[in-house]
Structure 1
Amino acid sequence: MKILLTNDDGIYASGLAALKEELVKIGDVTVVAPERQKSAVSNSITLYYPLIVKKHKDKFCDAVYSIDGTPADAVKLSLLELLPEPPDVVVSGINIGLNTGSNILYSGTVAGALEASQFGITAIALSLELSEKPNFGNAAKVSKKLVEQIMRKYGKKFSSHNKKMGIVFNVNIPACRSSSIKGVKITRQEDTPYEDSFERREDPRGRTYYWIKGSPEVNYTPTSGDGKGPIPTDAWAVNQGYVSITPLLRDLTCYHVLKTFRKLGNGFRV
């Protein structure tokens, strides 16, 4: 299995290192990641300056590169220029902090996976719940198992339709020992909004500046994940000690509104 590995925390991130060490056990890994921290850059790409690629020595795999761009840049450049042939899967992570709910909109980790989906390649985004001492080694072992299972069970099925559907598997892992993880839930994206705010400060020269802060308004109401009741959310699943897997699409069309518009007819005039 050919694997392209990227992230948004940068080439020297602990989550990337731990995941790389595990993935080389199941495939031929090429790493292409931003040279520095690129969290919350979403799907942005670099337009106004050239991308510089640097090769790094690594004891686990021969092909390790950094670029002075975003996760989407890294994947796009890899698939169009750096790789001799397309990988079987693109893996992005392990991110430090969950990418559930509204976080998905801003996440560079998820964006790297979404970029791959535009090329018809199965993609998996991996994130670990924030904690005082994140155990990336444990999360990487869990991630390796999930990558194997997703590719074995669904990789070929979705790859054949992926050019049209743009499927990404967004995986979020709770911050606990693997033995304490209750299992895996197939989930939907939490849809409650972020409760954002800004802290206003003043520098020694009297200039005003702001730091963003806030937290998501997460609804942790228990829901049934047995297929007979409501589909659980990603945030709820992780809060309950489960790994969440949420299938995502790059298609942002609101189909139920589109259907209503088509049913009522186009009454707009310009």
Structure 2
Amino acid sequence: MSTNRPLILITNDDSVFAPGLHLLIDYVKSMGDVIAIAPDAPHSGQSSAISVNKVLQINRHEDYNGAAIYSVNGTPVDCVKLGMHAVLDRRPDFILSGINHGSNSGNSIIYSGTMGAVLEGCMLGIPSIGYSFHSHNQAYSLEACREVVEKIT
């Protein structure tokens, strides 16, 4: 990775296998070096939970579209914490979380694992953004988020 380009840490609460994670990588890859560290299984509704009674493991996956991909057997906040302390060789310039189906606005930010990762980034003083698509219907494509993600990021 180049230290001349911003480092973007991407996570989510839907898992390392979620289509929204891959789309988010696609949408921001031109903006910096991307590393994705996400749960190995869905963790929706986990808020800012951390794992305290189990050993956390980090697994490397095949790179996707130029981004290094890791999974963690924990929560989205665990992914941010392990990314900061065990995976990344420098502090990320941005943390992005998502893209997931279902709105993460209003009261939902309190419960959302997507937003838990964003709040963790904010507590670390890192600009952090959570992306979600209003509908819970998995049949709706997240492709509609591209313009918004590119503009906001």
TM-score normalised to structure 1 length: 0.53
The superposition leaves residues 26-48 of structure 1 with CA deviations (integer Å, 9 ceiling, x where unpaired) of: 11100000011000011000011
The superposition leaves residues 95-149 of structure 1 with CA deviations (integer Å, 9 ceiling, x where unpaired) of: 21001222111000000011111211111111111154322122134212210xx
Tell me if structure 1 keeps the 8 A contact 2:36–2:67.
no
1:66 aligns with 2:66: no
> Which position in structure 2 is the counterpart of 1:201?
none
Q: Distance in 2 between matches of 1:34 and 1:131?
A: 20
1:108 aligns with 2:113: yes
Which amino acid in the other structure matches residue 20 of structure 1? I
1:85 aligns with 2:96: no
> Which position in structure 2 is the counterpart of 1:40?
45
> Which position in structure 1 is the counterpart of 2:135?
130
Which amino acid in the other structure matches residue 143 of structure 1? V
Q: Distance in 2 between matches of 1:4 and 1:34?
A: 13
Query: Number of residue pairs matched?
Result: 147
1:140 aligns with 2:140: no
Q: Specify the SS of the correspondent of 1:25.
A: helix
Which amino acid in the other structure matches residue 134 of structure 1? Y
The runs of at least 4 consecutive aligned structure 1 residues that moved more than 6 Å come to none
Tell me if structure 1 keeps the 8 A contact 2:43–2:76.
yes
Structure 1 vs Structure 2 CA RMSD: 1.2
The higher relative CO (CA closer than 8 Å, separation ≥ 6) is in 2
Q: Distance in 1 between matches of 2:151 and 2:121?
A: 21
The superposition leaves residues 193-231 of structure 1 with CA deviations (integer Å, 9 ceiling, x where unpaired) of: xxxxxxxxxxxxxxxxxxxxxxxxxxxxxxxxxxxxxxx
> Which position in structure 1 is the counterpart of 2:3?
none
Tell me if structure 2 keeps the 8 A contact 1:94–1:140.
no
Matching residue within 61, 73, 77 for 1:56: 61
Tell me if structure 1 keeps the 8 A contact 2:11–2:37.
yes
Identify unmatched segments of 5+ residues in structure 1: 148-270
Tell me if structure 2 keeps the 8 A contact 1:76–1:116.
no
91-100 or 135-144, larger mean C-alpha shift: 135-144
Matching residue within 102, 120, 141 for 2:125: 120
The structure with the larger Rg is 1
Tell me if structure 2 keeps the 8 A contact 1:19–1:144.
no
Quote the offset at 1:62 in angstroms.
4.2
TM-score normalised to structure 2 length: 0.91
Q: Distance in 2 between matches of 1:36 and 1:9?
A: 7
> Which position in structure 2 is the counterpart of 1:26?
31
